[in-house]
Amino acid sequence: MPILISLYLFLSNNAFARSLKATADKLAQETTRIGHGVALFGLVVAGIYFMIGKQDAATKMTQALMGVGILMLSPSIITFVKGLV
């Protein structure tokens, strides 16, 4: 009997979907936090390149700012893509 109950719980679509959605939401939150840290690190590195006078400092700053922009717009991009489907 316990085997049937556990099979019912594991094969139930609603319980499975809820746990996957919660997991995906938590992963998205953590990924955003990590992305903010990486973006801040990229801006710091680009600033250091400017201070020491590297030739490709402008390119590094442009890439860092574009990365920050994409990170900030990612919720809007995701809702746009979901609207296409």
Structure confidence at residue 15 (pLDDT) = 47
The pTM (predicted TM-score) of the whole model is 0.63
- Between CA 45 and CA 56 the distance in angstroms is 12
- The interaxial angle of helices 2-11 and 13-52, nearest 10 deg, is 50
**Range(s) of the domain holding residue 76:** 2-84
CA triplet 80, 84, 26: central angle to 5 degrees?
Answer: 55
Domain count across the chain:
1
Segment 44-84, tens digit of pLDDT = 999 999 999 999 999 999 999 999 999 888 888 888 888 88
